[in-house]
Chains A and B, each alone.
Chain A
């Protein structure tokens, strides 16, 4: 009995899918499963890459990270505890070879590095990787492959780091303790720390990162840590393999989050298409169901019959979607490859399982409500065709889908508050937009009777089923708005920055100029008539307390304050107010009294710092107290050295300092850069163009990855369009044939269809432009401080393109209407 029922379900499913009844449903489900599988695989592989690396991400069992060397007694105590020691020093440096400049991340390692984990290198053939347990020998250097191409070098050539020439002996492909931050965006060169002094780069006050690494017996490590902790200064950070986990860079975390949220948009839009397609499926099965009921099927038999069909469909489609998703995630990795670690964990079956279960859940959430109606078809319908089962309660339908979407958002944010915010904002936005569109459709409906026949019939398609029209417009406009935003914000960000720079704005920064070099450096610039900004002394230090309260109590997550208190700041002092700075509160110092500090206004707002507050700084393991005597407003994009904290002269004299300046080097004088870098090897010269280029690449990759998902959303939008068209196709064919019977020609019908879909696309495009511009306005004026200017060209082009595309796809959906000979009006109707 059960087997024969199963056979019946299979047979009916086979018939329906062959007749095209289920095509839209299948495509919508495929899109949802493919995109969520891709995202699930993507994040899972990233997370597991990090976890796998956790075992060796420190390249040791315990690491002290700090801006200065640690006391020697710490090292002897470690030796006393039988711990093995290693150390690495990391700093950025500009390399010049064959007149090509490149900013590289230099890492000098001691001979015992790495204590844990291994290094991988390749030779000239790039193919076979060699695993080693020690870094380069003295006199040699290992580089990342892109350094060779950028500087036109080969293995065996010499590479000059600072003042020292080193032989390139290997290409490095893997190091255990590579950080996932933006610094690692610069290509790596690894050298032996025996050569470090000879480079002349490291001197007191240089901006470098030291990593002192220890490994050994776990108990000894614990003891050592206990012994160390009370002695640590705020700038010394201890990292323990058992307590710390490697983190993804912020850019990647955000990208992952946006990708996750975009995939929810895809699921939502596909869900609407699934609900609409199932709605039509259900309606077309009322008669057959009534007959089955007449023949003695009970309600639960009916439910079982249809649910089992949908379950089989869901299982098959999800399986195919998973396969497609697997390919799609490879695309994502390709798009983001420069941001990612080189070695990525392999895809995991459980992540595939997530994509698969999404398929089943989405199908159930959106298809179940219409299917439940079939259960309620009255057997009497065989006699009275107008008997329709009651629709399922709207509350049930909406709460089911909102719950599912909420759970999905929670999965990507793993934060209840954020989930509530995203869900709440999303719902309110959808509601407001729906009301707006509904109003617009009502307005159109009231104008329709006054229009010509063609327009009347065209627009009727839109106002006939307003709910379906609203869904379509929402799907298209939201997707288009997201695409528009990701495009315009990216270009505006880059263009505005470039445009706002005054002519001859400094395009190079020079950092780490030692005090004794300052005058010579200045003279060299003046000799070549290079305009430079003031030279500012820099001491690195960390803000630790405000009025003796730890600063962490004042910061909110991800804010400017959070960022500024988690790292060492560049602290300076000057007698005069720095150029382009504006005093907004307090007094600039006249005669120096006590240690005073002037704070940048936005940071002060963020950390709730007021005039008269006492700030504690930790500099070079010593505490410095300073009273806030003024607040300054400044523009960060002037390309001149800017500072959060400016001290009164003499306040920081006790600490070693270096100087920073910026200057404008015209293209014609680029040669001077070579001379400067060679003459002052310890100085880091940053080319703004290069940084901007890296920034552009980063933004481009991120937006490409997000757009990649938005294409899925767009496809899902088209399935909603098709679902809506198919829901009314019978009616359209009927009206079309009838009109042709009365003498309407194809041109007339074609025109009405163009009007319907054209207006649909036009409204969606216009709405998309409005949404995108509104968000952009808020973003630019409130968050990014970029001047907002409406983009008129895009505002015109987008609605037109949208109208065109929606029309073309829509016409494809209704082509049956034109091709059906009018004789059908006499039959089957």
Chain B
């Protein structure tokens, strides 16, 4: 049996901002996948806001994700067939929010894309796409935000402006931030850094 992660003992407090660093293949992404309830560990327990994830089924975890969690990915992960507005509306609509459209356009306005609501991802630059993704992540007003190398696919200047926006939104919303990164500067902006090496916390 192959152990991808072992000996992880981690408590993250509400409102905290945490950076997870480590080399490629060290298990960072697996760790946040587990923390966000996207996957389940073969042994051990994970609790999120009082809910024990490891005891829930996939649909239960899905509901919890919708309720508590926001995501930002390295490769943006916008649905190509939808406009910027529709992409941001998506988690709100899944939640059944009647004011989805209103909220989403406000958020897009907040990230500086108020004039590009009806553009599809193909018509947007990388930086703009990541802004849409940020708006989508904060749309449901999540308690926890998982960001997986949010600047990995961007040049340094655009990346910096995205990070600034991320931290601004984070403090406005009092969100717990869990950030996976290679970048030591970026990690330094978080309150705490956790280093993973060969699947172990060091």
A interface list, Cβ under 8 A from B: 453, 460, 464, 735, 738-748, 821-823, 825-827, 829
Of chain B, the residue at the smallest CB distance from A454 is B93
In the complex, B38 has a CB within 8 A of chain A? yes
Whether A742 contacts B59 by the Cβ 8 Å rule is: no
Q: Which of A453, A464, A741, A823 has the most CB of B within 10 A?
A: A741
B54 shortest CB reach to chain A, Å: 14
Whether B94 contacts A742 by the Cβ 8 Å rule is: yes
In the complex, B58 has a CB within 8 A of chain A? yes
- Contact mask B55-67 → A, CB, 8 Å, 1/0? 0001100111111
Whether B73 contacts A825 by the Cβ 8 Å rule is: yes
Of chain A, the residue at the smallest CB distance from B95 is A743
Chain B hits for A746, CB < 8 A:
58-59, 62
Whether B94 contacts A453 by the Cβ 8 Å rule is: yes
Of chain B, the residue at the smallest CB distance from A453 is B93
Chain A hits for B69, CB < 8 A:
743
Pairs A-B, 5 closest by C-beta atoms: A743-B66, A823-B39, A745-B59, A823-B38, A823-B33
- 17 A-B pairs in the complex with CB atoms less than 8 angstroms apart: A453-B90, A453-B94, A464-B81, A738-B77, A741-B71, A742-B66, A743-B66, A744-B62, A745-B59, A746-B62, A821-B39, A821-B58, A822-B62, A823-B30, A823-B39, A826-B29, A826-B38
Task: Determine the distance from Cα of A822 to Cα of B29 in the docked complex, in whole angstroms.
Answer: 13
Chain A hits for B64, CB < 8 A:
743
Whether A745 contacts B29 by the Cβ 8 Å rule is: no
Chain B hits for A821, CB < 8 A:
38-39, 58
In the complex, B193 has a CB within 8 A of chain A? no
Task: Determine the distance from Cα of A543 to Cα of B95 in the docked complex, in whole angstroms.
Answer: 83
Of chain A, the residue at the smallest CB distance from B89 is A453
Chain A hits for B67, CB < 8 A:
743
A509 shortest CB reach to chain B, Å: 69
Whether A742 contacts B90 by the Cβ 8 Å rule is: yes
Task: Determine the distance from Cα of A543 to Cα of B77 in the docked complex, in whole angstroms.
Answer: 82
**Which B47-91 residues have C-beta < 8 A from chain A?**
58-59, 62-67, 69, 71, 73, 75, 77, 79, 81, 90-91
Whether B71 contacts A460 by the Cβ 8 Å rule is: no
**Which B14-40 residues have C-beta < 8 A from chain A?**
29-30, 32-33, 38-39
Question: A735's contact among B58, B73, B79, by CB below 8 Å, is which?
Answer: B79
Whether B94 contacts A744 by the Cβ 8 Å rule is: yes
Chain B hits for A822, CB < 8 A:
38-39, 58, 62
Chain A hits for B29, CB < 8 A:
826-827
How many chain B residues touch A (CB < 8 A): the figure is: 27
Whether A742 contacts B91 by the Cβ 8 Å rule is: yes
- Contact mask B99-139 → A, CB, 8 Å, 1/0? 00000000000000000000000000000000000000000
Chain B hits for A825, CB < 8 A:
38, 73, 77
Whether B94 contacts A739 by the Cβ 8 Å rule is: yes
Whether B79 contacts A743 by the Cβ 8 Å rule is: no
Task: Determine the distance from Cα of A744 to Cα of B63 in the docked complex, in whole angstroms.
Answer: 7
Whether A745 contacts B38 by the Cβ 8 Å rule is: no
- Contact mask B137-177 → A, CB, 8 Å, 1/0? 00000000000100000000000000000000000000000
Chain B hits for A743, CB < 8 A:
62-67, 69, 91, 94-95
Of chain B, the residue at the smallest CB distance from A743 is B66
Task: Determine the distance from Cα of A826 to Cα of B75 in the docked complex, in whole angstroms.
Answer: 9
Whether B63 contacts A829 by the Cβ 8 Å rule is: no
Task: Determine the distance from Cα of A829 to Cα of B78 in the docked complex, in whole angstroms.
Answer: 12
From known contacts A738-B79, A747-B59, infer whether A826 and B91 are also in contact, taking CB-CB under 8 Å: no
Whether B81 contacts A460 by the Cβ 8 Å rule is: yes
> 10 extra interchain contacts, Cβ-Cβ under 8 A, other than A741-B65, A826-B148?
A735-B79, A741-B38, A742-B71, A742-B94, A743-B94, A745-B58, A746-B59, A821-B58, A825-B77, A826-B73
A477 shortest CB reach to chain B, Å: 26
Of chain B, the residue at the smallest CB distance from A819 is B58
Task: Determine the distance from Cα of A748 to Cα of B58 in the docked complex, in whole angstroms.
Answer: 13
Q: Which of B62, B73, B95 has the most CB of A within 10 A?
A: B62
Task: Determine the distance from Cα of A829 to Cα of B81 in the docked complex, in whole angstroms.
Answer: 16
Whether A829 contacts B77 by the Cβ 8 Å rule is: yes
Of chain A, the residue at the smallest CB distance from B81 is A460
Whether A745 contacts B39 by the Cβ 8 Å rule is: no
From known contacts A822-B38, A826-B38, infer whether A745 and B62 are also in contact, taking CB-CB under 8 Å: yes
Chain B hits for A740, CB < 8 A:
58, 62
Task: Determine the distance from Cα of A464 to Cα of B80 in the docked complex, in whole angstroms.
Answer: 11
